[in-house]
Structures are given as structure tokens and as C-alpha cells.
Amino acid sequence: GFISEDFNINNDHMNQLKDVLHFYKVLSVENIPQFQEYLKFCAKNVTFSDQMSLVEKCKKIFNYETCVGYNKKFFTQDDFTTAS
């Protein structure tokens, strides 16, 4: 998956998302380096504590997905939704 069961997002998860988007021709080869940096930017805002509820964690993951999927620099929202 693109996140772990305990809501962590690491380099493996980001690489898997990048690979899927590239496989479905949503992400061009030329944009991969910039996109990887952008994924790190979006993921750095996803931090959790043991005190957070499941709803709070889900909101953070939704914000990550929104950060990634709504950036029109790399692809359209429809293309992102279809591929992911």
C-alpha cells in the first residue's frame, strides 16, 4: 500500500506510489525527481502521536492524499484518482 497499517509513510510507500503513477502513465519520467521531492514535502506534514484518535489519523492521511493528488503541476486530479 501507499501507507502502513499503523499510518506511517516511508520512502518505500512513496516509491510505490510514484511507480504506480508512472506505470499508468500519469507521471512522466521527466517529472519523477520533482515529484519525489514533492511527495516528501506532503509526507512531512503527516506525523502521529499515540494520543491521536483513529479519526485524527485518517484526517492526516486524507490531507496527504489531497496534497499529492491536487497538485496540477504533475497530473490532473482525475488521472491521480484513476491510477491510485
pLDDT in tens, 12-40: 999 999 999 999 999 999 999 999 999 99
* Maximum pairwise Cα distance, the chain: 41
Mean confidence (pLDDT) of the chain: 89
Question: Sorting pLDDT into bands at 50, 70 and 90, what band is 77?
Answer: confident
Identify which has the larger pLDDT, 26 or 82: 26
Global pTM reads 0.83
Averaged pLDDT, 64-83: 87
